[in-house]
Amino acid sequence: MTKQLILFRHGKSDWNVGSGRDRDRPVADRGIVAAKTMGKLLAAAGKVPDLAITSSAVRARTTLEIAMDAGDWACPMAVTDDLYEASVGQVLEVIHQVPNHHRSLMLVGHEPTWSEAVGYLGGGAVRMPTAAMACLEFEVVTWSQVEAGRGTLLWLLPSRLFT
């Protein structure tokens, strides 16, 4: 049995708008276009996750909502503070809590954690640009078995290839 994890980095944010708090930065126009593109791409490829969990930061939550709307995804979505300014260990804790009936999971979050998480889980180095998606596959039965080096990187899609 396998589980698939998609890490989706939020779209380009707008540094000139918002309250000045990092958590409140919105997605820039370029990020909106990229999120729509990636949402449609994932749907067209038949890779919509069973569950999507996003960081509570405005730019991450908005990126996911735009992608879901553009791709007409029908998966449940959850928002958590646990993915904002998270370490790879905290990301792993979120993964381990996912109910095992979900075969595929998407997490939406931030750099540098996303690049570090792909490297940690898959055993290689990658760089996750804004609005990129990386998919790792694990030969496991439960999400709690997802650990360092157990994943295989199936694909890494930077939005710039498609926008």
CB-based burial of residue 156 (10 Å sphere; 0-12 exposed, 13-18 middle, 19+ buried)?
middle
Q: Could you tell me if 109 and 56 are in contact, meaning their C-beta atoms sit under 8 angstroms apart?
A: no
Specify the pLDDT at position 14: 81
Sequence-distant (≥ 6) Cβ neighbours of residue 30 within 8 angstroms: 11, 12
Q: Quickly tell me which residue has 């180095």 as its tokens.
A: 125
Specify the pLDDT at position 18: 58
The whole-model pTM stands at: 0.96
Q: pLDDT tens digits for 10-45?
A: 999 987 765 678 888 999 999 999 999 999 999 999
Q: pLDDT tens digits for 120-159?
A: 999 888 999 999 999 999 999 999 999 999 999 999 999 9
Domains of the chain: 3-161 (3.40.50.1240)
- What Rg value do the Cα atoms of the chain yield, rounded? 14
3 state DSSP class of 109 = strand
Specify the pLDDT at position 123: 86
